[in-house]
Amino acid sequence: MSTEKEGQFRRRGFLGGALVAAGAAAGWVVTRVIGPQDRVNRTAAKLDDRFTYDISEFEETEPNLLIFEPAGDFPATVDQAKRVAFWDGQGIVVSGENSVAIHGAEGTMLKQWRLAETPYCLLPLDKDSLLVGYADHYAILDADGKERFKSPNLGHRTYLTSAAVYQDRLYFADAGNREVLVCKRESGEVVNRFGKKDADLGNPGFNIPSPYFALAVAADGKLRIANTGLLRVETYSLDGRFVSSWGAPGMKVDRFCGCCNPAYFTLTPAGDFITSEKGLARINVYAADGSFKGAVAGPNMLVTDKQLAKRACTDCTVGAGFDVTLDANGDVLTLDPYRKVVRRFRSKNLS
């Protein structure tokens, strides 16, 4: 992430995120007293010894909860690797600083393209088209890396972190403005935006303390959006009306912890969620209704630096999330920003 954009979030959002993290450090006790929205907006008091933050009991995931197992990894060949996506017919896409690389199933690098800017989100549109979202605009590349289309600038303070497509519309999570942008696919024209608190639409408002803001269009034709500051996943109609939500704050494996999670998620063909949390790093599986189904990987498997993990739980500016995607075989692929590899996890039912 560029220094300029990091600075933007420090000024506009990380202060609130850091304060929320102090509340989160007290764990569920604080959450139950003041609620997730208040944790974002109020100044957190200095924690005393009663609220010593100890994540040790949550670092180990019970073996019976692990429904996936490690199935290898390969190096991420781009600098400052950040995002990963599966591009059907092409391979595994990894993006980083001013570049995109495409790898085969076993990790062999097939192609690498230099870009004028750093992508913050990836969206394969079809076998010949890849959308790369930059900070304030996006481009569509062909299978040779040639730019087919470049959108206009999408607005002041825009910071694109996730993208989805439905018919002739593109949907972007704009973490800079805490909104979802709806664009015409052929022109990039913004035709709608939503995300502010809106009583008429029933919208609670997106609470995004850090530049992690994910969305996807599910098979039912509705949007699923991570409202990270509220520690939950929400459902919206395509025109921006709030429908429902699931998720709850807490340190236990079936809840979302820290200041802002889930950092990333992807959907399975059956409609399940594969969620990824930063701080207390873990990748889990939830059913479409939000009920916990099992774990892909826990903190002890993902992060070996326990001190870093502990600091990341109380400061949303520390550490990085593990982006997740699914390949054609249903394997979970996650980009490990610490080891700089793409890791594969396979369902134990398929092993």
Per-residue pLDDT, 249: 95
Alpha carbon 243 to its chain's center: 21
CA distance 52 to 59: 16
- The most confident of the ranges 8-17, 37-46, 116-125 is 116-125
For 241, list phi and psi in degrees, rounded to 5: -95, 130
Q: Which of 228, 258, 259, 260 lies closest to 245 in space, CA to CA?
A: 228
CA distance 103 to 111: 7
Percent of the chain with pLDDT over 90: 72
CA distance 163 to 144: 21
Q: C-alpha dihedral over 174, 217, 237, 208, to 10 degrees?
A: -30
The neighbour count for residue 225, using CB atoms within 10 Å, is 26
Per-residue pLDDT, 259: 86
68-75/341-347 β-pairing:
antiparallel
pLDDT in tens, 286-342: 999 999 999 999 998 998 777 776 666 666 666 578 999 999 999 999 999 889 999
Per-residue pLDDT, 349: 86
CA distance 100 to 77: 9
Q: 73 versus 3: which is more confidently predicted?
A: 73
Q: Which domains does the chain have, with CATH numbers?
A: 3-347 (2.120.10.30)
Side chain identity at residue 107, one-letter code = G
Tell me the CA distances in angstroms from 4 to 8, 9, 316, one per residue in order. 6, 9, 18
Tell me the CA distances in angstroms from 102 to 174, 208, 286, 320, one per residue in order. 26, 30, 29, 22
pLDDT band at residue 60, thresholds of 50, 70 and 90?
Answer: confident
For 291, list phi and psi in degrees, rounded to 5: -75, 140
pLDDT in tens, 132-180: 999 999 999 999 999 999 999 999 999 999 999 999 999 999 999 999 9
CA distance 1 to 340: 15
Per-residue pLDDT, 25: 33
Q: Is 106 exposed, middle or buried (0-12, 13-18, 19+ CB in 10 A)?
A: exposed
Cα first-last separation, the chain: 37
Whether the pLDDT of residue 47 is over 50: the answer is: no
Kindly state the average pLDDT of the residues 61-68: 92
Judged by average pLDDT, the poorest of 13-17, 83-87, 195-199 is 13-17
Q: Which two tokens stand for residue 338?
A: 């610490």
DSSP code string of 113-157: EE-SS--SEEEEEETTEEEEE-SS-EEEE-TTS-EEEEPPP--TT
CA distance 221 to 273: 15
Q: Which two tokens stand for residue 291?
A: 């009920």
